[in-house]
Amino acid sequence: MIHLPIDAAQMIRHVGFKQALSTFLALVFPLLTLAQTVDSTYENDLTQRIHVAPESVFTMFREAGMKPVNRSLTPVQQEKVQNAFSVLPPLHQQILKQHLQSISFMDGMPNTALTSPVDTGNRQKQFNITFRAGLLDETISEWASWKENTCFEPGVDAKLKVRVEGGNLDAIIYVLMHEATHIVDAVMAISPHVSEKQSVPEPTSFTKDVWRTMNVPEAKYLDSLLAKTRFRSGKVLPISLGPEVYRKLAQTPFPSLYAMAAWSEDIAELATIYHLTTRLNQPFSVVVTKGDVELARFEPMKNPLVKQRLKQLTIFYTK
């Protein structure tokens, strides 16, 4: 992996680790000449690619002030990973067999997961995915609720709560699908690959009429409140603003707050939430409550603006 071309610690402080890495990787994917042919013994069983993360990943986390440690998986955890691979869409499985060099699990990392290009000197792109090991002990609802709550600071009214109703499947299913979609995107250029964050490239069918630059939506989807949310500003909002945040989000084509971070996160979130709800028959709603009273409910797959984009995902299910 190539190190960040700017002060990584400073970038993390301002916008958050995953958002910083998302921006960086979106810029460097088209510049890398990557990889090697996957060992034939690993061709069909992706779980055989569980290895210690590349040293460059450890170095990046250490330079950001973390103390990362490799985690060896128990048989039960290995079974969870195997199941998560088995329920990926056909295209994801096909591309991972060709382009996933390794997956890794780590304690002491600051984010949930990181997809990194691996430079091994040849042309075919290869990647490592590193996961926070604790993810293996969480359900989708537990993990997604935790992540959503990082966008808000508690208020004086302790009865105000934000939660995600995402079912009881293993969280690794959601996160693997999200990260695997980054690899599919990098290989197939579903979103544009640009050399500068401010570039205004020719849109792809996925970004047309939705995104202007890699992290700036088209003007009709810009909103002053949504611009202040964590994945766009790096700052948190009072939880009292939660109902209005999700009402505003429902007026956009984005499936989550995180999808607004960049077009690479948009495709990963859209594909993942669609797959979870439509293919795996799981729920997915963000709910804001005050005691027993529901103040707001955001259901992305019922949003007409989101539903208009789902035709872009049919390629994932064609063998």
Torsion angle, alpha carbons of 46, 47, 49, 52, to 10: 150
Q: What pTM was estimated for this model as a whole?
A: 0.87
41-89 pLDDT, tens digit each: 557 789 999 999 999 999 999 999 999 999 999 999 999 999 999 999 9
The encoded tokens of residue 243 equal: 């109902």
Q: How far is CA 145 from CA 87, 148, 149, 161, 288, in A?
A: 22, 5, 6, 10, 11
215-238 pLDDT, tens digit each: 999 999 999 999 999 999 999 999
Report the distance separating Cα 133 and Cα 308, nearest Å.
36
